[in-house]
Amino acid sequence: MVNLLYGLLAIGFTIVSYLIAVKVHRKFGLPFTVPVLISTVIIVTVLLLFHIPYETYMVGGHWINELLGPAVVALAYPLYVQRKLLKDLLGTILIGTTVGAIVGVTTGILLAKWAGFEEVIILSLAPKSVTTPVAMVIAQAEGGAFALAAVFVMIAGIGGAILSSIVFKLFNIEHDLGRGVGLGCASHAIGTARALESSALQGSVSSIAMVMSAVIVSIITPGLVTVLL
């Protein structure tokens, strides 16, 4: 009964935090006010202020986490709607995703190496731009820490959602194809959610790029780690 109460409170608190974050983002519309970042800050702040253990919050948070599966499946709908156009653009998306995957892994390894980080951190950082389950498996297989990999994936996702509009404006990237590939490659599911806010086509392209990137990164990471470390 107590766990049920904790669970309901955690779910309600999470929903309210996200709704507040959405209102803040709609009011200011700034890159650093994306709902996923604001709601995360609210939740973490409240847990720290009231000394609420993470395990207690996750009694309900676990139920929300289970919705990730249906959410991913729901991405198939915009893919279906845009299927004809995406079929024509498949080659272009594949090339863009491959380049993005190589750049993402390479820069992660080299920048961390030049910064003097330990090898376990570098290996955990390498697959940062793919979805969490895939990144954790890749990192662990290469000798990294799967928990660190999950943290880096979250940073990459939120960072991409925050900075994408700035990068697009800076490099004059206006087409939904380019934006979708960039977000899918660099920021996985969080980036895809951000892309869907812009247009169905951009979200569909990002979904494909996210899946392709996970496969490509799984293949190229061992070789790049061997060469660059």
Give the C-alpha distances (Å, rounded to integers) separating 138 from 87, 100, 218: 29, 17, 6
Q: What is the pLDDT of residue 16?
A: 93
Read off the pTM. Answer: 0.80
Q: What is the pLDDT of residue 69?
A: 65
Instruction: Looking at the structure, tell me whether residues 218 and 120 fall in a common domain.
Output: yes
Instruction: Looking at the structure, tell me whether residues 78 and 159 fall in a common domain.
Output: yes
Query: Does the CA dihedral 164-168-171-176 come out positive or negative?
Result: positive
Per-position pLDDT tens, the chain of length 229:
667 777 788 889 999 999 999 899 888 877 788 888 888 899 999 999 988 888 888 887 778 777 766 766 676 777 777 778 778 888 888 899 999 999 999 999 999 999 888 999 999 989 888 887 788 888 888 888 877 888 898 889 888 888 888 889 899 998 998 999 999 998 888 888 888 888 888 888 888 888 888 889 989 999 998 988 8
Q: What is the pLDDT of residue 75?
A: 66
Q: How far apart are alpha carbons 179 and 154 in whole angstroms?
A: 20
CA nearest neighbour of 153 among 186, 122, 183: 186
Instruction: Looking at the structure, tell me whether residues 93 and 153 fall in a common domain.
Output: yes
Instruction: Looking at the structure, tell me whether residues 56 and 95 fall in a common domain.
Output: no
Size (the chain), residues: 229
Instruction: Looking at the structure, tell me whether residues 62 and 150 fall in a common domain.
Output: no
Q: Which of 66, 95, 113 is the last residue of a domain?
A: 66
3-state secondary structure of 129: coil
Q: Which residue intervals of 29-116 are DSSP H helices? A: 35-49, 54-65, 68-74, 76-81, 83-114
Instruction: Looking at the structure, tell me whether residues 54 and 87 fall in a common domain.
Output: no
Domains of the chain: total:
2
- Tell me which residue has tokens 């951000």: 194
Q: What is the pLDDT of residue 179?
A: 92
